[in-house]
C-alpha cells in the first residue's frame, strides 16, 4: 500500500468515527478490496456500505428495545397453544402482533381470563412480536409499576414519570387485579390510564371481569371512569379456559401411563390445590 493510500485509509477511519458510523468503519476495508478487485462502480460500493450500516443499526435497535421491554423469556406466539384457547382467533392475534392499526391510534387490548390460563404468555408474546416489528414496549406487573409511580408522587415527580412512559408505544400491565384497593395506589394507576387515553396504547391482563373492578378502585366513579377510558378504543379478548398450571399438575399426578379419563375427582381436587 502506497503512502497516499495509507493516509487516505486513515482519513476514512477517522471520518467514519467522527460521523459515528461504526458498521461502515468495520466493513469498509473488506468491501473496498472487493470493489477494487471486481471493478464496482462508485454507486455500488457506497450502496453496499450504506446497506450494511442500516442493517446493523436495525439489529442494534432491536437488541436495545428488547432489553428495555423486560419481557419474560421464552414467551412467543409460536409457543402459544392456540388449540387450548379456541375462543381466540389466531388471525386476530396475528393482526394485533403487527401493531400498525391499533398502536398508531392509541387503542388498547384487554385480556381477561382465570389465573394460569395463558394471559401473561399471550401478552408477552404479543409484546415480543411488536418489538420485532419496530415498536417500543414495556412489560411489567401492574403492582410493580404502581409502586414506582407512588415513589414518584412522593418525590413530586409523578407527572414526569408518567411522561417518560410515553416513549413506549405499548405498556403491558400484567395482573391488574392484584393492585390493592388503596387510595394512593389506585389514584396513580388511574392517572396513568387517563394520561395515555387516546395517545398511547395499553395491554392489560385481568383475572376479574369489569363487574369486579370495584375491588381495585376505591369508589364507583373512579372505577367507571377508568373502564370508560380503557374500553373506548379497545379489543377485548376472553380466555375462559382451564388453567395451564392445573392441567400440568394433573398430568404429573396421573403419571406417564394413565390416560386423563381415569383421573378421579379426588385427584382433580388435590391437583388443583
What CATH number is associated with residue 141? 3.40.50.300
Judging by beta carbons within 10 Å of its beta carbon (0-12, 13-18, 19+), is residue 86 exposed, middle or buried? exposed
pLDDT in tens, 102-151: 999 999 999 999 888 899 999 999 999 999 999 999 999 999 999 999 99
Residue at 76 is within a domain = no
Same domain, 110 and 167: yes
Residues 6+ apart with CB under 8 A from 201: 102, 103, 106, 107, 108, 109, 169, 170, 171
Strand arrangement, sheet containing 170-174:
137-141, 170-174, 201-206, 108-112, 234-238
Q: Bridge partners of 227?
A: none
What value does the mean pLDDT take over residues 209-237? 87
Whether residues 221 and 250 fall in one domain: no
Q: Do 96 and 194 fall into the same domain? A: yes
Instruction: State the Cα–Cα distance between residues 212 and 195, nearest whole angstrom.
Output: 23
> Between the CA atoms of 78, 207, 89 and 80, what dihedral angle is there, to the nearest 10 degrees?
10
**pLDDT given at position 247:** 52
Q: Is 245 in a helix, a strand, or coil?
A: helix
Q: Do 231 and 268 lie in a common domain?
A: no
Same domain flag for 20 and 65: yes
Whether 175 and 129 share a structural domain: yes
Position 74 in a domain: no
User: Judging by DSSP bridges, how do beta strands 201-206 and 234-238 pair with one another?
Assistant: unpaired
CA dist list (Å): 176 to 107, 109, 171, 186, 205:
18, 13, 12, 10, 6
On whether residue 114 sits in a domain, the answer given is: yes
Question: Coil, helix or strand for 58?
Answer: helix
Give the model's confidence band at 168: pLDDT under 50 very low, under 70 low, under 90 confident, else very high: very high
The mean per-residue pLDDT over the stretch 16-31 comes to 89
* Confidence at residue 269, expressed as pLDDT on a 0 to 100 scale: 44
Q: Please state, rounded to an integer, the average pLDDT across all residues of the chain.
A: 85
Give me the domain span that covers residue 122.
82-241
For residue 99, being part of any structural domain is answered with yes
Please give the backbone phi and psi of residue 235, each rounded to the nearest 5 degrees, phi first: -105, 125
At a CB cut-off of 8 Å and minimum separation 6, what does 119 contact? 111, 112, 113, 174, 205, 239
Residue 168 lies in a domain: yes
Q: Are residues 140 and 234 in the same domain?
A: yes
Same domain, 166 and 258: no
In a domain, residue 77? The reply is no
Q: Which cell numbers in the block locate residue 143?
A: 403492582
Statement to judge: residues 93 and 23 lie in one domain = no
pLDDT beyond 60 at 272: no
Percent of the chain with pLDDT over 90: 58
Is residue 179 domain-shared with residue 237, that is, in the same domain? yes
pTM, whole model, 2 decimals? 0.77
Q: Are residues 235 and 111 in the same domain?
A: yes
Beta strands in the chain (DSSP E): 108-112, 137-141, 170-174, 201-206, 234-238
Our count of domains for the chain comes to 3
Local confidence band at 241 (pLDDT 50, 70, 90 cut-offs)? low
Amino acid at each position: 500500500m502506497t503512502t497516499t493510500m495509507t493516509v487516505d485509509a486513515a482519513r476514512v477511519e477517522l471520518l467514519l468515527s467522527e460521523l459515528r458510523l461504526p458498521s461502515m468503519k468495520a466493513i469498509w476495508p473488506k468491501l473496498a478490496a472487493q470493489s477494487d478487485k471486481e471493478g464496482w462502480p462508485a454507486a455500488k460500493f457506497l450502496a453496499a456500505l450504506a446497506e450494511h450500516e442500516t442493517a446493523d443499526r436495525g439489529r442494534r435497535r432491536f437488541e436495545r428495545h428488547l432489553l428495555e421491554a423486560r419481557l419474560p423469556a421464552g414467551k412467543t406466539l409460536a409457543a402459544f397453544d392456540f388449540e387450548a384457547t379456541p375462543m381466540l382467533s389466531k388471525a386476530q392475534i396475528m393482526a394485533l402482533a403487527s401493531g400498525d392499526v391499533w398502536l398508531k391510534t392509541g387503542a388498547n387490548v384487554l385480556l381477561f381470563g382465570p389465573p394460569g390460563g395463558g394471559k401473561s404468555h399471550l401478552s408477552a408474546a404479543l409484546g415480543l412480536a411488536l418489538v420485532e416489528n419496530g415498536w417500543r414496549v414495556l412489560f411489567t406487573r401492574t403492582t410493580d409499576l404502581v409502586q414506582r409511580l407512588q415513589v414518584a408522587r412522593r418525590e413530586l415527580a409523578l407527572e414526569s414519570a408518567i411522561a417518560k412512559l410515553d416513549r413506549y408505544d405499548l405498556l403491558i400491565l400484567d395482573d391488574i387485579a392484584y393492585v390493592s384497593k388503596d387510595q394512593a395506589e389506585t389514584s396513580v394507576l388511574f392517572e396513568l390510564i387517563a394520561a395515555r387515553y387516546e395517545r398511547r396504547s395499553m395491554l392489560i391482563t385481568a383475572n376479574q371481569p369489569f363487574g369486579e373492578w370495584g375491588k381495585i378502585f376505591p369508589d364507583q366513579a373512579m372505577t367507571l371512569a377508568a373502564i370508560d377510558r380503557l374500553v373506548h378504543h379497545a379489543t377485548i379478548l376472553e380466555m375462559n379456559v382451564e388453567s395451564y398450571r392445573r392441567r400440568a399438575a394433573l398430568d404429573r399426578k396421573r403419571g406417564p401411563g394413565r390416560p386423563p379419563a381415569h383421573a378421579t375427582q379426588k385427584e382433580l381436587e388435590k391437583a388443583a390445590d
